[in-house]
Structures are given as structure tokens and as C-alpha cells.
């Protein structure tokens, strides 16, 4: 489960990338929600965008990446793979900036199909 | 398949000619002025509002190009970031000096070395000499600071011929981010 969260905790993009093998349904949402406070606290004190694993719930981990404009990328996963996740986040971040550069882009209306394809390809390359 | 914005590199820098920028900017100012009812304050606010959404974009882009996966989280580093990489992205040269006000600790001044791009070809009509078209740049800086979590208000003022940008941070920001 991968989620992009914008200003005022509005979710902007959501994708199921198969990083948790067990079927946990909406538990994903709760885990990410619970980790948000920790992410905000760590992001305020760290110059790094990649915060590594910020929270853990049983065997499920949450990794986070906070951009300069305070857009949060959060990934729920069940295996440790720090470098893969870092590369995945960096790739998504770059595509996110490309989307932002489009003057017609509107955060509320969300991301277009090509962005979705890019994220899924990045997941195939770095996460599985 | 049609090429999308995602197929183009984002890290290579491109330049826009001064004439193209000023042609477009002059239209922006004229348009805002026609809707401002000849009120200098409304015109200034409109220019600031136009610049504001660009702040987030410039912040993200400049951080990606210059800092690769790190960001600024203290006021002093943020101001340094504005002075060099950010100003260089906008104008291809660093800004002038940055000073902290001796009267108010929350107030910082960013000076310009020479008249900026926005004022170079604009002269205010008689009676409206207070208008500074760099309000557009002030809006960008304000958007950038707010997007990165620094609550601040930025305004542009004339000092002699060049512009000085007044950055007034909220007192909480000064307290929390002055590490």
C-alpha cells in the first residue's frame, strides 16, 4: 500500500503495490494514519527527506519520505528493503515534481494515468 | 505513444530570454492593473497572489536539483537557500545581502544588488509611484516559505532604485525553527 499525502493531511494518491503479502484490508489505512504524527515530528527535526522505517505494527512496517514542500510519501510493507524503498521514493518524488511543473496541474483533481503507470513501474523495479 | 511531461528530464536547466519574460510579465501587470481599479494595494496583492503558487514548485524543483534528497529546516539555512540556489534558479545570480532587523527579531531583509527583472522595464504612472512589480517575486518567496513550513509574510519595497524584500516570520516559527 502506497499513499501520497499533501497539505492538511489530504490524501492525493493511493495505490496497492503488493508490498504486504497478507490480506489486511483497511488496516493499511489505520497503520498509515497512526504513523502520520511520528512522520511530522521526525520531518521537522531532520534535513533528510527519506526517514526510513518510522513505525511498526506487528510484522508490518511503515516507511516515509517527506519532500521539501511537506508532501509525504508513505509506504506500508512487510519485508525490510531499505535501499529499494529509498530508490522507489526518489523515483516517485522526481515524477511528482514533473507533475507539479505542469501549470494546469491541480492537486485536488489528482494525478493522471501516466503518473500512475510510472509509480507502478517503479514499484516493479525496486520493491518486488 | 504521445510524449508526456514524465518523459522529459527535470534536472537539466533551461533558460528563458529576458525579452520573452518581460513581454509576458508586462501583460500580467497590465491585466492586473485593469482589474485593480487604479488601487496600488489591490494591484500589489494581485501580483503577490499570482506568485504564491509558484513558490511550492520552485521549492521542490530547486531542492531536487541542488540538494538531492535533503531539505532545509532552520531559518538561517532556509534564508541561505533563498539567497543562492533559489535566486540563481530565478535570475541566474545570487541575491544581495540578507540582514536581520535590529528592531524586530522576526524581520529579515533580502537586498537586491541591481534593479530586478520585474522593475527594469516598468515605470508607475503618476500618483502610483508606490507600486513595486517585484511584489510578484515577493509572492513566490512567501509561497516557498509557507510550503516548507515557515509561517511568514513577504513584501517588496523600494530602497533607492533597487528592491528590498521584507520577510516577517511568525513569532512561533522563530521560536521553533531557530536551532
- Break chain B into its structural domains and give their ranges: 18-176
pLDDT at B128: 67
Measure Cα distances from A68 to A9, A84, A106, B47, B110 in Å.
Answer: 16, 21, 18, 24, 21
Q: A60 vs chain B: nearest CA distance in angstroms?
A: 25
Residues A24-61 pLDDT 10s: 778 888 888 889 999 988 888 888 899 888 888 888 89
What domain count does chain A have?
A: 1
Q: What percent of chain A has pLDDT over 70?
A: 100
pLDDT at B52: 92
Q: A21 vs chain B: nearest CA distance in angstroms?
A: 29
Nearest to A98 among B6, B73, B148 (CB): B6
> Residue B4: closest CA among chain A residues belongs to which residue?
A114
**Taking chain B (179 residues) in consecutive chunks of 10 residues, what is each chunk's mean pLDDT?**
80 87 91 85 91 91 85 88 90 88 89 80 72 90 92 89 89 79
**The domain containing residue A53 runs over which residues?**
2-126
**What band does A6 get if pLDDT is binned at 50, 70 and 90?**
confident
Number of alpha carbons in the 13 Å side-chain half-sphere of residue B94: 9
- CB-based contact, B84 to chain A, within 8 Å: no
Q: Is domain B18-176 given the CATH code 3.90.1150.10 in the classification?
A: no
User: Are B36 and A73 a contacting pair, CB within 8 Å?
Assistant: no
Report DSSP state, residue B124. Answer: P
b or e along B40-59 (b: 16 or more beta carbons within 10 Å of the residue's beta carbon)? beebbebbbebbbebbbbbb
Cell of B99: 540582514
pTM of the complete model: 0.89
Chain B interface, mutation test: which of A39, A69, A88, A93, most B Cβ atoms within 10 Å? A69
Closest CA relative to residue B59, chosen from B165, B144, B153: B144
Nearest to A97 among B4, B60, B147 (CB): B60
Integer Cα distance of A87 and B129 in angstroms: 52
Determine whether the interchain pair A93/B64 forms a contact, defined as Cβ–Cβ distance below 8 Å.
Answer: yes
Surface of B (92-151) touching A: CB under 8 A: 147-149
Q: What percent of chain B has pLDDT over 70?
A: 96
| Assembly ipTM | 0.85
Amino acid at each position: 500500500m502506497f499513499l501520497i499525502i499533501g497539505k492538511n493531511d489530504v490524501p492525493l494518491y493511493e495505490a496497492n503495490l503488493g508490498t504486504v503479502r497478507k490480506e489486511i484490508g483497511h488496516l493499511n489505512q489505520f497503520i498509515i494514519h497512526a504513523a502520520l504524527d511520528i512522520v511530522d515530528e521526525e520531518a521537522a527535526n531532520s534535513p533528510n527527506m527519506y526517514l526510513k522505517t518510522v513505525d511498526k505494527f506487528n510484522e508490518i512496517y511503515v516507511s516515509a519520505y517527506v519532500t521539501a514542500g511537506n508532501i509525504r510519501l508513505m509506504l506500508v510493507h512487510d519485508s525490510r528493503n531499505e535501499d529499494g524503498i529509498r530508490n522507489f521514493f526518489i523515483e516517485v518524488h522526481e515524477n511528482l515534481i514533473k507533475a507539479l511543473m505542469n501549470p494546469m496541474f491541480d492537486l485536488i483533481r489528482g494525478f493522471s494515468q501516466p503518473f500512475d503507470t510510472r509509480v507502478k513501474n517503479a514499484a516493479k523495479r525496486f520493491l518486488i | 505513444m504521445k510524449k508526456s511531461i514524465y518523459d522529459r528530464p527535470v534536472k537539466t536547466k533551461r533558460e528563458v530570454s529576458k525579452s520573452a519574460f518581460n513581454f509576458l510579465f508586462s501583460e500580467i501587470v497590465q491585466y492586473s492593473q485593469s482589474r485593480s481599479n487604479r488601487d496600488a494595494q489591490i494591484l500589489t496583492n494581485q501580483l503577490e497572489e499570482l506568485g504564491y503558487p509558484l513558490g511550492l514548485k520552485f521549492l521542490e524543483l530547486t531542492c531536487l536539483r541542488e540538494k538531492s534528497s535533503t531539505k532545509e529546516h532552520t531559518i538561517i539555512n532556509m534564508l541561505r537557500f533563498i539567497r543562492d540556489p533559489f535566486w540563481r534558479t530565478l535570475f541566474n545570480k545570487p541575491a544581495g545581502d540578507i540582514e536581520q532587523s535590529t528592531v524586530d527579531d522576526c524581520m529579515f531583509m533580502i537586498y537586491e544588488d541591481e534593479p530586478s527583472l520585474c522593475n527594469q522595464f516598468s515605470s508607475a504612472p503618476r500618483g502610483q509611484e508606490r507600486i513595486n512589480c517585484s511584489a510578484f517575486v515577493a509572492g513566490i518567496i512567501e509561497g516557498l516559505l509557507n510550503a516548507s513550513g515557515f509561517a511568514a509574510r513577504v513584501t517588496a519595497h523600494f530602497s533607492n532604485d533597487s528592491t528590498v524584500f521584507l520577510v516577517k516570520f511568525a513569532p512561533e516559527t522563530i521560536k521553533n525553527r531557530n536551532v
